[in-house]
Structure 1
Amino acid sequence: MSSQDFLRLHAASRRARHLVGVSGGADSTALLHLLIDAGWRNLVVCHLNHRLRGAASSADQRFVERTAAKLGLPCESGGADVRRLMKNSGTSLETAARMARHAFFASCARRHRCRRLMLAHHADDQAETVLWNLLRGSRGPRGMKSGHVMTMDGIGMQVIRPLLHVRHADLVAWLRERKLTWREDATNAEAIGVRNRMRHEALPLLARITGRDPVAALVRAADDMAEIDAMERDLVTAARVLDPAGRIHIPALRTLPVPLQRRALHDFLTNHGITGIDRALLDRALALLDPATAAATNLPGGTHLRRRAGRLQIESPPIEALPATQHPD
């Protein structure tokens, strides 16, 4: 298969600069090489060292920096004390790592004046996301979007996922066929954490029970839901729920039916990088529309959603992440 068979991107975008998140693992390494093969050159490789695996994390960083140098691409690398961030914010390790990455990507965006970020999420990741959203009861069978704007540390980033319909195994096969190397994270193979257990236990069990590939079915469900999402989004947009400052205008939100109010709140939180959104959190957010209730509710990651002067806004403490280090061409 050629690189064009993998990537779902508009060719005209090649001239614009894009940041590419590269961990050094198979998926992001494949994305980087696929982009190069497809003629993308105006790329900035971005790698955050989470400092969770000691010498292995440092080796990952060196691998990414060498790969970028071989391809003639600039590389931004930085580090974050994710365990300390987890302790200070009272979140899970996974959430703390995501917060650190968002802060790092935002610093890269400022340095390069580029708000376009490509990530290597693939079909297997999408299936896990859909299954997890179903179990949380907050979004139905929704998955990650192939392209959308997400706020990262105060910057509206255009997040692009060109591999959402590609299986992880196909990416690995493509790398092997071209004799390209990547870094292995041993923790990905361990059945610990919700996402890893879904990957290694839940999805294989569903395949054995049904005799069908659950990943393909869950990805199709996400595609179907995306079409419904587009219609809902048009209705929310027509209601002018956001004010010019990007806050939720409560009187406008209350003109919508409750299901669309919930949808608007979910999108608002997601676009501000809030994760772990469940039905209970959305119900607490809806309660803020009543001026007789408490004026704020806590959000994952140590932030909170506050009602102030007829608006809803997210207030958050600064995120601890070390600045990026630039590696020129």
Structure 2
Amino acid sequence: MDLIKKIKKNISANSLINEKDRILVGLSGGPDSIFLLYILHNYFNNQLIIAHINHKLRGVDSDLDEKFVRTISQKLKIPLYVIREDIRKLSNENKKSIEEVGREVRFSFFDKTLKVENFNKIALGHNLDDNVETILINFIKGSGTKGLIGIPEKRDNIIHPIINIKKEEILKFLEENKIEYRVDKTNFEIDFLRNKVRNYLLPIIEKEFNKNFKEKILSLSNILKVEDRFLDNLVENIKNDLMEFENDFIKIDLKKFQKLDLSLKRRLIRKAIDYFNRDLREYPLEHIDKVISLENKKTGKEIELPFDLIAVKDKNKIIIEKKRVEIPNFYIEIPDIGLYELAGMKIELTLVEKISKVKDPFTSFFDYDKIEFPIKFRKPKFGEKFKPLGLKKKKKIQDFFVDNGIPKSVRWNLPILLDKKDDILWIVGVRISDDYKVTNLTKRVICIKITLEDFRWIKIFKRFL
């Protein structure tokens, strides 16, 4: 099949480009990206811009790459954006690999440029050989199904129009059409894992084991892609029945979750992590399985995940959330009935004739004459005791939290009310004290109502109410 037809078939089959798309082309100056730019410029009518990153990894050669890209931009009259970043320096400072930092810088730059120009897609020049290398690298690293599928034709707004074209086909096309390109000499050095796979491992496999290895590995990729799509669709259909989505956390119904096959459990956890816009490559299987293991742990058990996420076993849920927001220490003394404001909430105390049936965790009724004013309002302290409504004796507040499934991440931020003697009247939103409840002997009833106004309080109580 003609090379251009193969590319157009891939673009059409995977809905990569439509006539209204405005496309940023990532241009290194190497053969693949030059070939991609040539194809898009000559065979499609979309508006294009070029983005180039000078990684400063190759000294003068990096500067010559940039100069070459500028020449191409001027020749084709396509707008160009360039940044220069010392990737090696950033790698050392952040203790990350050069490849990882390079990827972060690259996509951050691409995304910013899209917004500036109001473009909507990023086209990259990955080819068939790159895909085979990626699959092998992911296999070596112990990747799951998605890693063994390789580079997708499309992911969000990133497209790979020439992913079905072999490197040798690209080089032959450039040579026949006398199109210049730059050669990255580091591609032939055995310093990076990808270069080891490209220049050492793949040639040995093709020579000693199977000359058609690339075709076989891509056949495996296509098989996995179909099955992966089926499982993804299955998870998409069941997720809303199992998961409750909030801005800063996700609750997973434990009873329903436990009935699922392990493969679906793993995909649901990955779906939850993806909800927070985290790079799933940073969450290997061991992290996913640790979250799943919470289903058999005690209430309150927590697991820290990369990039500021935590997973918590609640009474009947698994919660995945961003790391907690600490509430600053607060303290107020309330002399008597009235309206008071503190730390992002209002506290209203009124005398009422009788208890009304209010299903509101932030409204409670007490025997007014049992309370010694002033009432104190603060965070709980480890070790202090409390006599929960319905119990005949006091228990340590930390034991009460555990027994009632109050997540670790919020326990010591909850507001409590105490009387003058430091007896706890109410753990707000949770339980009042049995000592201060309204009985048949009560003469005066006080209603205490809390109104949350600060988003941090709302977030805390949403975790378990």
Q: Same fold (TM over 0.5)?
A: yes
Q: C-alpha displacement at 1:163, in angstroms?
A: 1.4
CA shift digits 1:22-63 (9 cap, x unpaired): 111111110010112212341111111111111211111121
SS in 2 for 1:15: coil
Give the Cα–Cα distance (whole angstroms) in 2 for the partners of residues 113 and 70 of structure 1. 23
Match status 1:254 vs 2:257? yes
Whether the 8 Å CA contact 2:30–2:182 is kept in 1: the answer is: yes
In 1, Cα distance between the equivalents of 2:44 and 2:110? 23
Residue 427 of structure 2 aligns with which residue?
none
CA–CA distance in 2 between the matches of 1:63 and 1:222? Answer: 36
Counterpart mapping for 1:224-263 below 5 A: 224-238=223-237, 239-240=239-240, 243=245, 245=247, 248-251=250-253, 254=257, 256-263=260-267
The normalised TM-score by structure 1 is 0.82
Question: Whose relative contact order is higher, 1 or 2, with alpha carbons under 8 Å and at least 6 apart?
Answer: 1
Give, in whole Å, the separation in 2 of the partners of 1:129 and 1:285. 27
Deviation for aligned residue 1:313? 4.8
d(CA) in 2 for partners of 1:202, 1:304: 37
Single out whichever of 285-294 and 130-139 deviates more from structure 2: 285-294
Does the 8 Å CA contact 1:21/1:45 hold for their aligned counterparts? yes
* Secondary structure in 1 matching 2:81: strand
8 Å contact from structure 1 (residues 3, 35) kept in 2: no
Instruction: Give, in angstroms, the shift of residue 96 of structure 1.
Output: 0.9
Counterparts in 2 of 1:82-121, with a 5 A limit?
A: 82-121=87-126
CA distance in 1, matches of 2:31, 2:114: 24
Aligned residue for 2:305, secondary structure, equals strand
For the pair 1:148 / 2:151, whether they are aligned, the reply is: no
Give secondary structure in 1 for the equivalent of 2:19: helix
Instruction: Sort the Cα spacing of 1:90 and 1:287 in 2 relative to 1 into closer, same or farther, 3 A.
Output: farther
Superposition map of 1:1-329 within 5 A: 1-7=2-8, 8-10=10-12, 13-140=18-145, 141-149=148-156, 158-238=157-237, 239-240=239-240, 243=245, 245=247, 248-251=250-253, 254=257, 256-266=260-270, 268=273, 272-275=278-281, 278-287=284-293, 292-298=300-306, 303-307=307-311, 310-313=319-322
In 2, are the aligned partners of 1:18 and 1:43 still within 8 Å (CA)? yes
Gaps of 5+ in 1: 150-157, 316-329
Q: Give the secondary structure class of the aligned counterpart of 2:253.
A: helix
Query: Could you give the per-residue CA deviations for residues 210-239 of structure 1, whole angstroms, max 9, x where no partner exists?
Result: 232211111121111111111111012111
Code of the residue aligned with 1:164 in structure 2: it is I
Counterpart contact for 1:4–1:38, Cα < 8 Å: no
CA RMSD in angstroms comes to: 2.8
Query: How many residues matched?
Result: 303
CA-CA distance at 1:88 after TM superposition: 2.7
Once residues 181 and 310 of structure 2 are traced to their aligned partners in structure 1, the CA distance between those partners, rounded to angstroms, is 44
2:450 maps to which residue? none
Q: CA deviation at 1:184?
A: 0.7
CA distance in 1 between counterparts of 2:164 and 2:251 reads 36
Shift in CA distance, 222/242, structure 1 to aligned 2, threshold 3 Å: farther
State the structure with more CA Rg: 2
Change (3 A) 1:195 1:113: same
Q: 1:249 to 1:73 in 2, by over 3 A?
A: farther
- State the shift of 1:185 in Å: 0.6
Please, which runs of 5 or more residues in structure 2 have no aligned partner?
A: 313-317, 325-465
State TM-score, norm by structure 2: 0.59
The 8 Å contact of residues 291 and 303 in structure 2, kept in 1 or not, is answered as: no
The amino acid that maps onto 1:143 is G
- Per-residue CA distance 1:218-264 (angstroms, 9 max, x = gap): 11211111111111110121113583759654338936433123234
Shift of 1:146: 0.5
Structure holding more strand per residue: 2
Matched residue of 1:250: which SS? strand
Question: 1:264 and 1:206, CA in 2 relative to 1: closer, same or farther beyond 3 A?
Answer: farther
Classify 1:205/1:237 alpha carbon distance in 2 versus 1 (closer, same or farther; 3 Å): same
Structure 2 Cα separation of the partners of residues 50 and 111 of structure 1: 22
Query: Quick one: percent identity of the two aligned structures?
Result: 24
Residue identity opposite 2:320 in structure 1? R
Whole-Å separation in 1 of the counterparts to 2:133 and 2:323: 27
Equivalent-residue separation in structure 2 for 1:247 and 1:145 (angstroms): 29
**Would the aligned equivalents of 2:53 and 2:106 in 1 still touch at CA under 8 Å?**
yes
Conserved? CA contact 2:309–2:320, under 8 Å: no
